[in-house]
Amino acid sequence: MERVSFDPILPATPKVFILGTMPGKQSLRKQQYYANHRNSFWKIIYELTGAVFSENYAERIDTLKRNHIAIWDICQFGERKTSLDTDIKNEAPNPINEIVKLFPSVKQILFNGKKAEKLYRTYFSEIANIKYETVLSTSPANARFSLREKLNNWKTAMV
């Protein structure tokens, strides 16, 4: 089943650019990043920013923008039968580095999981003066790590 990514969430002056792989089934159905309620992405973002947690998607996007956090997916489109990253095939990348170069405010790229990093390195080269970090995937499939472990990992990695 072919999947297509969402537009990036880009604040005026992003400092951190978080890159995932591609939307899962629930995200596609709701047309929202990280829509699976078992995905810990939003809980981690709210903990890191100190904002009051909200289920409202528009408020979540505002929280990212207020905190200079951009998000996007490596894959513009690809095939995936399930929501597992290991199922991604025949993918084509979004123009990640082109977007990053338009925003000299970006100081760090965070890969939400190892598959996002692997896909990035398949299609792109690192850009000078940007710190690259791979953090524990927020996916519910990454169940061997607790929310606390994921949060601590993200806290350590994020500038």
Amino acid 2: pLDDT: 53
User: Which residue blocks in the chain are alpha helix, DSSP H?
Assistant: 25-30, 41-49, 57-66, 96-102, 114-123, 147-157
Task: Identify the architecture of domain 2-157 in CATH.
Answer: 3-Layer(aba) Sandwich (3.40)
Joined together, the tokens standing for residue 35 give 């829509």
The edge-to-edge listing of strands for the beta sheet with 108-112 is 69-73, 16-20, 108-112, 131-135
CA separation for the pair 151, 130 (Å, rounded): 22
- The C-alpha R_g of the chain, in whole angstroms, comes to 14
- Residues 134 and 36: their CA atoms lie apart, in Å, by 21
With the C-alpha atoms ordered 47, 43, 9, 117, is the resulting torsion angle positive or negative? positive
- Tokens linked to 121: 């390195």
- Give the active site residue among 36, 39, 94, 112: 39
Cβ(72)–Cβ(14) under 8 Å? no
**Rounded Cα gap, residues 85 and 70, in angstroms:** 21
Q: How would you write the pLDDT of the chain (159 residues) with one tens digit per residue? A: 555 789 999 999 999 999 999 888 899 899 999 999 999 999 999 999 999 999 999 999 999 999 999 999 999 877 767 655 666 677 889 999 999 999 999 999 999 999 999 999 999 999 999 999 999 999 988 899 999 999 999 999 997
Contact 157, 110 (CB under 8 A): yes
Q: 110 has which bridge partners? A: 18, 133
**pLDDT score, position 155:** 96
Note the pLDDT of residue 90. Answer: 76
Residue 82 confidence (pLDDT)? 62
* Residue found under tokens 């629930």: 26
**pLDDT number for residue 120:** 97
Give pLDDT, residue 24.
Answer: 82
Rounded distance, CA 123 to CA 104, Å?
Answer: 21
Annotated catalytic residue 39: yes
Q: Note the pTM of the prediction, 2 decimals.
A: 0.93
